[in-house]
Structure 1
Amino acid sequence: MKPLLLLLLCAGILTIPTPSLASTTAAYPSVPGNDDCSLAGRDNNDMIPVRREVYGEGRIFDISHRYTPDMPSWESDDGIGEFLSLPKSLKNGSLANNSEMKLPTHTGTHVDSPGHVFDHYFDAGFDVDTLDLEVLNGPGLLVDVPRDKNITAEVMRSLNIPKGVRRVLFRTLNTDRRLMFKKEWDTSYVGFMKDGAKWLVENTDIKLVGIDYLSVAAFDDLIPSHLVFLESRARCPTLVAGGSGPYVVKCGWWPHEKSWSREGVEPPAEITR
């Protein structure tokens, strides 16, 4: 069984947005309805780009959200809007193609730096480029959260996440409601309450927290939960995973197991993209 490695593409550092125009063309990530992430070997057309996803004995699955003008944006009823333009193009007589992108850094799949909610960290330069890439990459655990509540201390206790697990993606009601597919911002999303964040920090070895909407913290406990997570500069990215993007990738992430494989098994749940 080959281990799966999760590559977290963060908007602040590594995200390469795919404009909505690309949805009608061969592009990576794959278009809706296509379970094969790779374009390699599809045909002999040299003009189809190949994005490598197999490295040695491991495989990388990109579960970051596809960027489109209609993806939700914080406190916006109209999504992020048009964010990618081509002011210089060979087709209009320019010497080269040069794109221009403008959007908030807390858009789609992104990470929160300690300076997000602490001014002394911000002034000291604790930006996303100070986060530990070894924390951001590696095996992770996908857990289903009870659908009728935010992530409280009670919920965290009930999940029985084993000691030693460092990366956890929390799949919530947000995925069932497909909130990342809805343009209008929704304050009723599921996230961490302060006591849930405190329980995680004090009782687990988790260094990476992933969630399936725009904030890791519930709207009713927005700042208090962030303060708990980021005060000790714990790596706490807000990942739009478990409900991100317009298609499904069956990655075989098995809750409460220490190894995963795609070979010969149907995963009990899907990571929706």
Structure 2
Amino acid sequence: MSGLRVVPTWRNGQERLYVCLTDGQNVAWYDREAARVNLLSEDRKEDVLDALVPFLTGPVTVGPPPFPTPAELALLNLHPDDDLAPNRPGEALLVALDRDPAPTHRLRPDPRRRALLAEQTVGEVLDRLAGAGWHALHSIPLPGGDHIHHLLIGPGGLFALHAVYARKHRVQLADPMVTVGRRESLPLLRRVRADADRASYALTAEVHPVLALVSPAHVSGSAMPRDVHVVRDSEIAELARLGGTLKPADVEGLYAMARDRNTWGRV
């Protein structure tokens, strides 16, 4: 037994397979798009290739990696348990529902299910932006048990998105309150701003707050927020069309920082 394990990740919409020691240290990675196995330790070549056998899709080039960027170096030192990139949309809710499912005799649906559907809907839209130079992270854990639903990083900047289920309901905005249908009004705009502020502090970069409404019937407000993007799920892709403010190297560096769980431990 080589003691190696293969951990899949996604980068710019393409799958990359990292080969790690039992302590999480990377010794190689397989780039399917480039058909190349990049070795960080030549003396583990045979073990690496043996571990990758089930994943190889054809002939590959094997050798030392090209000169890595600072962002790539950061990822190579990132322990898989600290990597937030594999998080699914609504990861925190999925875990909570698995640990504590709602009783089957409830008269009303578990509201966590609606919240989960909202995060999954928004997450699917964000993940489709990967091919355009954008990265999305989901369910980012914060101290105190809070989570940022989604973080979008790309040429047009950084955006912290909070997803709200509003299917076929009227949404009324009166900053900071948000009312969905006949539900209780909640200060969601304050929460959205706080998430963006905490992300800005963690990443030392401006993060724009976004309230993402999933399938609302109508949106209106007597006091519309000026500093928060309020979008329907069908409009989220328009964020990717904003003018470029970040260079590709900056995008990759911020993404490498954001996907590290330890980045968020101090906010």
Say which structure, 1 or 2, has more relative contact order (CA 8 Å, 6+ apart): 1
Report which of the two structures shows the higher radius of gyration computed on alpha carbons: 2
Tell me the TM-score normalised to structure 1 length.
Answer: 0.28
Q: Could you say which structure has the higher helix fraction?
A: 2
Q: Which has the higher strand share?
A: 2
TM-score (structure 2 length as normaliser): 0.28
